[in-house]
């Protein structure tokens, strides 16, 4: 009988080179930390793909929002479903417009803007003695043009 062949990684002994080769493949299986790390990478990529551009914040961005709708995504909450609008602004930045506060949500539901439409929104502030914010919404206002992004750019 020939001498046993020893695995250089774990010192296991094998009668044939074929058996050793098959055994060596078991050392190439990913470890649990490697599998978990790959799962984290996939989850991070999926989260990035699900994420939204920065939201319009009228306290910082100003009371007027003008943008071309690039995408409309439906978000489910425990008590409601809401549309989220991704829009390219006049300056080229992309902003997310959430369908809230309620007055703005109602206006968006009434006017039903769709992908490709240009929307202009004006925050009128809180009416005297009221707790809610009021808004004006115009879909496809005359004389406003926001170029479509080039193919492959978002």
Q: pLDDT digit string (tens) for 64-114? A: 999 999 999 988 888 888 889 999 988 888 999 987 778 998 999 999 999
Q: Of residues 22 and 122, which shows the higher confidence score?
A: 122
Domain range annotation of the chain: 5-50, 58-139
Coil, strand, or helix at residue 46?
Answer: helix
Q: Of residues 90 and 120, which shows the higher confidence score?
A: 120
The average confidence (pLDDT) of the chain is: 84
Integer CA distances (angstroms), 88 to 37, 65, 153, in order: 35, 10, 11
The pTM is what?
Answer: 0.63
How confident is residue 1, by pLDDT bands cut at 50, 70 and 90? very low
Q: What is the DSSP letter of 116?
A: T
Could you tell me the fold of the domain covering 58-139? OB fold (Dihydrolipoamide Acetyltransferase, E2P) (2.40.50)
């Amino acid at each position: 009988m020939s001498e046993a062949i020893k695995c250089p990684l774990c010192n296991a002994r094998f009668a044939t080179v074929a058996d050793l080769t098959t055994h060596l493949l078991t050392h190439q299986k990913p470890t649990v930390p490697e599998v978990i790390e790959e799962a984290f990478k996939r989850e991070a990529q999926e989260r990035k793909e699900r994420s939204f551009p920065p939201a319009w914040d009228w306290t910082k961005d100003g009371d007027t929002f003008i943008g071309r709708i690039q995408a409309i995504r439906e978000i489910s909450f425990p008590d409601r479903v809401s549309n989220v609008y991704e829009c390219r602004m006049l300056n080229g930045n992309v902003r997310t417009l959430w369908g809230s506060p309620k007055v703005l949500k109602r206006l968006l539901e009434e006017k039903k803007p769709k992908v490709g439409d240009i929307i202009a929104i004006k925050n009128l502030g809180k009416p005297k003695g009221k707790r809610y914010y009021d808004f004006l919404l115009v879909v496809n206002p005359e004389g406003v043009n926001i170029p479509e992004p080039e193919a492959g750019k978002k």
